[in-house]
Amino acid sequence: MGSILVLTKNLLVEQQLQEQLQRLNYEVYCSTEFLDQLLMGNAIDPIFPIYQAVILSETISNQEIQQILEHLLSQNRAVLRKFASDPSAKEKEQLKLIGIHDYLVEGNTLDQLREQLVEKLGTVGCYPHKTDLIHQMKKRNLRDIKIKFSKMEKKTLQRLTESQGESVSRQEMCEALWNDVPNNSHLSQLSLLIKRVKHKLEKGGFEEEAIETIWGYGYRLSPDILEEINRVNEMRNVEELKEVAIEEY
């Protein structure tokens, strides 16, 4: 079917819509972070162009929509406004004037939603194939981007890099990060650190499995990420990377 991005200020509000879209076989991503980035005028995640349609939640004000709409309409995708109830004639006219393609109403039936999306997605032209975009993203390298890691996130990446492709046990990771034997608190923090580092690498345009989890043992840095780090940083210490790619905060 296609990929749809829902921009919102509250993920809970979008649960019903997300479920309906998934039942129609759309890939759906609800995000508050993308909205924040757009409102702040920041560069958008490289995966953003994959989405064929953007739905603007009723939790977003009209003023905020006008602030981000130019960017949303700059690429060939359908933009739809979601309302909690049927909009007034004036509101419908305003949507047309500012360039929004259509509107959705919370509680529309699955049949209504299906036909509406088929019609709107068919009128905004052709989209790049998703795998082509991902392939382009993977061509990016650490010299092209800036990734901000916290001090502990950077230590986590450094320890994985030092293993040079070998898996690192959770015990070894805890000892490297806290100079202490693992306990429940450390293990919980480690899982969170790994998740954050992996997420930031993915947001930077790298592969989905940037860090592989070895169930029951530990973690391993993917060969592609390791190769890129070694190429950028001819020494073996990720500390040097902050000069060209990794910013600490």
Output the pLDDT for position 214.
83
How far apart, in whole angstroms, are the C-alpha atoms of residue 168 and residue 9? 38
CATH 1.10.10.10 fits 147-248, yes or no: yes
pLDDT surpassing 70 at residue 134: no
pLDDT surpassing 50 at residue 95: yes
What CATH code would you report for 2-138? 3.40.50.2300
pLDDT in tens, 148-176: 778 888 889 889 888 888 899 989 999 99
Buried b (16+ CB within 10 A) or exposed e, 4-34: bbbbbeeeebbeebbebbeebebebebbbeb
Domain boundaries, the chain: 2-138, 147-248
Output the pLDDT for position 7.
94
The secondary structure of the chain in percent helix, strand, coil, rounded to multiples of 5, reads: 50, 15, 35
This prediction has a pTM of: 0.51
How far apart, in whole angstroms, are the C-alpha atoms of residue 184 and residue 188? 6
Q: Which residues pair with 3 in a beta bridge?
A: 27
Tokens 């502990």: give the residue: 152
Average pLDDT for residues 217-245, to the nearest whole number?
Answer: 62
How far apart, in whole angstroms, are the C-alpha atoms of residue 54 and residue 73? 10
